[in-house]
């Protein structure tokens, strides 16, 4: 499992979201509702406590806590962006 962050995502986090070099960005699992896919990924500013997955890009640290890594099911996660929107890419 790897966490990848594209250059476009780094640009978006810096220009659109206001994150700066040295900051930590947590990717976490959240309950989004019932149905086939009740969980989704979210983003927040936070310092790692027990990071299970980590990547550095643009001087920023992106991470998932060990308790959230189960959601990836041994797949790589890529953070990408279009304009001001961040996209999570998980291969099937």
Compute the average pLDDT of residues 52-76.
96
Is residue 34 very low, low, confident or very high in pLDDT (cuts 50, 70, 90)?
confident
The CATH number of the domain where 68 resides is what? 2.60.300.12
Q: Can you give the residue range of the structural domain that contains 7?
A: 3-89
pTM confidence score: 0.92
Q: Which helix (H) or strand (E) holds 9?
A: helix 7-15
Residues 6+ apart with CB under 8 A from 18: none
pLDDT, residue 89, reads: 95
Is residue 35 very low, low, confident or very high in pLDDT (cuts 50, 70, 90)?
confident
- Residue 63, strand partner residues: 26, 54
**Does 36 have pLDDT greater than 80?**
no
pLDDT, residue 37, reads: 79
pLDDT, residue 38, reads: 87
Q: Which helix (H) or strand (E) holds 12?
A: helix 7-15
Structural domain count of the chain: 1
Q: Are 66 and 52 in contact (CB under 8 A)?
A: yes
């Amino acid at each position: 499992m790897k966490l990848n962050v594209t250059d476009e995502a780094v640009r978006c986090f810096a220009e659109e979201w206001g994150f700066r070099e040295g900051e930590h960005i947590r990717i976490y699992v959240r309950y989004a509702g019932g149905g086939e896919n009740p969980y989704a990924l979210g983003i927040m500013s936070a310092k790692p406590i027990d990071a299970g997955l980590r990547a550095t890009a643009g001087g920023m640290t992106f991470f998932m806590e060990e308790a959230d890594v189960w959601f990836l099911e041994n797949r790589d996660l890529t953070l990408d962006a279009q304009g001001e929107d961040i996209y999570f890419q998980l291969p099937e």
